[in-house]
Chains A and B, each alone.
Chain A
Amino acid sequence: MLWETIKLAVQAIFRNALRSFLTVLGIVIGVAAVIAMVIVGQGSAQQVTSDVEKLGSNVLMVMPGQDAFEGGPGTTDPPFSLADNNAVERELSFVDIAAPIAASRARVVFGNENRRTDIVGTDNRYFAAADWEIERGRVFEPSEIQSGRPVCVLGETVRDSLFGNANPIGETVRIKALSCTVIGHVKSKGASTFGSDQDDFVLMPLKTFQRRIAGNPDVTMMYLSISDRIEAARAQEGLERFLRDLRRIGPREDDDFTVMDMKQIATMLTGITDVLTGLLSAVAAVSLIVGGIGIMNIMLVSVTERTREIGIRLAIGAQARQVMTQFLIEAIVLSLIGGLIGVVLGLALAVLGSNALNVPFTPDIGIVLLAFAFSAAVGVVFGFFPARRAARMDPIEALRRE
């Protein structure tokens, strides 16, 4: 009997194939969206985790200002100096490398090409601390750093957009009023976990930047590579104590600088990714409900259209429950078909999305089953009312209806 009913439902659905397809479109989109969102979201979370692991020894970034997002050039708190940076490296045993950084946005021009990018003043310690490898050319000479020579090392994105296939070494680029000789470029790191381009910068000696670009002796960030023999939290604590001392902050005053732990940031951003994934999935789930209403609508139409059939079935001995089951199963089969198409489409979208965002494709059978089960539940919930209407029909009335 159940098998008969399912066969009957499938027949009824394919009798109106186009209408059925349009009806299940809402479910298809809902299921596909949920699956794609969740899989891509999980992929990026996994990407973050592996990126964090790749950071290896921990990195701390120190900026003036009480809040990481208010720090940098805009803050009113006193900046650091090269001396501060060197004191940190010298005095704190757990700081392996401290790289001073001063940076601003500016346009870099070569011939007809130009690009707005991050101009970063630093020294060779930054290559080591941030793991930048020279692809071609060389790092700065001590004399270039000492005297603030106009030389620069390009990030891959800048190199590519200014020089394309040409060799940039020895060429001169212009940054504001500064003519600067390209002495090298570094290997690409690709997009960061969150899509920002890590290769979009020009490096030059700190002194060159301070004198020719910024016009002040400030260091706006210290980039620290921390020994892996110390716990991140203890390193941060030690660093904070040292900096409060160095900057003469009274015991009742707040820090006027911010220490950011890269791993901590990555973890926080994973949290943001999770929240975003959750929100987008919730939106997608709403479309499942909209899809369910579509199914209810079309099932009501179907019940009305097939009033006579219902009358016949009741007359020859179908019980209310059986008519109810018939239409309920039809609604469930309908939404399961939608769910199935949605699963296939969602997986396809997840593959495309993972490729586009450069995150690993991590198919998750759990979410596929969940979405599928949810679409069946939609069929039950939204098929119930039309099915009950069919079951409650009076056979005499139903047979009289044209």
Chain B
Amino acid sequence: MADRSATPGPLIALRGISRIYGAGETEVRALDDVDLSIDDGEFVAIMGPSGSGKSTAMNVIGCLDAPTRGDYLFDGVNVARLSRDQRALLRRHYLGFIFQGYNLLPRTSALHNVELPLIYKGLGRAARRDAALRALAKVGLAERSHHDPSELSGGQQQRVAIARALAGNPRVVLADEPTGNLDSHMSVEIMEVLRDLNHREGLTIVMVTHEEDMAAYADRLIWMVDGRIERDAPTKRAA
């Protein structure tokens, strides 16, 4: 699993990416001519003050949003001009998401939550259940698979969300402030799960955070200000 890439070169390559909201006087450049490459197997943290464009960068990389200008090569394929539905397919097959607020379906068991992306992938019942249970086992929640989110702690809910992101076997997991709602103890728990997945399975992770401690789990830190990358360097851990 260490090397899933079929083609040489970076897994993610942003070339002159701008994301502009509004027009004329009220124009806002959330991303301003950004160049960024992320290799397969990297664990990258994106930091920056609010309004620096880190969330927009995340949405563009996660194909939730399309850039206004520039090229986005995902595994060598330009995905900057894809339609809404094509981007949905890309997310379905290659990307996994972890959100600050977990975003699990309420009154739905952990197992069903994890199965959700697999339904859209068109897996059969048994295969879905299998893959979901394996993903839950990876985050250490196999025995909680029938609990509702309301019966789980914040850390456990976030681990279910990680399992959901993993279930579809994605190329990249995008984590948007994954520890934002958690206390420091649980935050560490989550970060260790992510680092483990990165080390052991070679999973590529892109994480937005505003906590230095959490960013320290990554190999590489990108610091954004005003829609531009100001600093891009290995973390102490990596160095």
Give B178 Cβ to nearest chain A Cβ, in Å: 14
CB pair A316–B120 under 8 Å, yes or no, is yes
Is A318 interfacial (CB-CB < 8 Å)? Answer: yes
CB pair A317–B91 under 8 Å, yes or no, is yes
Of B6-14, B82-90, B140-148, which binds chain A?
Answer: B82-90
Chain A residues with Cβ below 8 Å from B62 are 315
Query: Contact partner of A316 among B59, B84, B107, B117, CB < 8 A?
Result: B117
Of B92-100, B179-187, B214-222, which binds chain A?
Answer: B92-100
Is B116 interfacial (CB-CB < 8 Å)? Answer: yes
Query: Contact partner of A319 among B89, B97, B121, CB < 8 A?
Result: B89
Give B20 Cβ to nearest chain A Cβ, in Å: 15
Is B54 interfacial (CB-CB < 8 Å)? Answer: no
- In the complex, A15 Cα to B65 Cα: how many Å? 33
CB pair B116–A399 under 8 Å, yes or no, is no
Query: Contact partner of B122 among A1, A311, A314, CB < 8 A?
Result: A1
- In the complex, A309 Cα to B102 Cα: how many Å? 12
Range, interface on chain A = 20 to 34
Is B37 interfacial (CB-CB < 8 Å)? Answer: no
- In the complex, A399 Cα to B91 Cα: how many Å? 15
Is B127 interfacial (CB-CB < 8 Å)? Answer: no
Q: Number of B interface residues, CB 8 Å?
A: 26
Given known A-B contacts A309-B105, A312-B105, A320 and B97 have beta carbons under 8 A apart:
no
Closest to A322 in B: B120
Which of chain B's residues 195-226 have a Cβ closer than 8 Å to chain A?
none
Closest to B104 in A: A312
CB pair B64–A316 under 8 Å, yes or no, is no
Chain B residues with Cβ below 8 Å from A318 are 88, 92, 120
Q: Is the interface of A mostly helix, strand, loop or mixed?
A: helix
Query: Contact partner of A317 among B59, B92, B103, B107, CB < 8 A?
Result: B92
Chain B residues with Cβ below 8 Å from A312 are 103, 105, 116
CB pair B120–A396 under 8 Å, yes or no, is no
Specify which of A15, A308, A321 lies most central, judged by the most chain B CB atoms within 10 Å of its CB: A308
- In the complex, A322 Cα to B84 Cα: how many Å? 13
Chain A residues with Cβ below 8 Å from B105 are 309, 312
Is B164 interfacial (CB-CB < 8 Å)? Answer: yes
Chain B residues with Cβ below 8 Å from A308 are 103
CB pair A395–B122 under 8 Å, yes or no, is no
Is A91 interfacial (CB-CB < 8 Å)? Answer: no
- In the complex, A313 Cα to B168 Cα: how many Å? 14
CB pair A4–B65 under 8 Å, yes or no, is no
Closest to A323 in B: B88
Q: Which residues of B line the A interface, CB within 8 A?
A: 59, 62, 64-65, 84-85, 88-89, 91-93, 95-97, 99, 103, 105, 107, 116-117, 119-122, 164, 168
What are 13 A-B interface contacts by the 8 Å CB criterion? A1-B122, A309-B105, A312-B105, A313-B116, A315-B64, A315-B91, A316-B91, A316-B117, A316-B120, A317-B120, A320-B88, A321-B85, A399-B103
Supplied contacts A312-B116, A315-B64, A321-B85, 14 more A-B pairs, CB within 8 Å = A4-B119, A308-B103, A312-B103, A312-B105, A314-B88, A315-B103, A316-B92, A316-B116, A317-B91, A317-B120, A318-B88, A319-B88, A319-B89, A396-B64
Ranked nearest first, the 6 interchain pairs of A and B with the lowest CB-CB distance are A317-B92, A316-B117, A317-B91, A319-B88, A319-B85, A317-B120
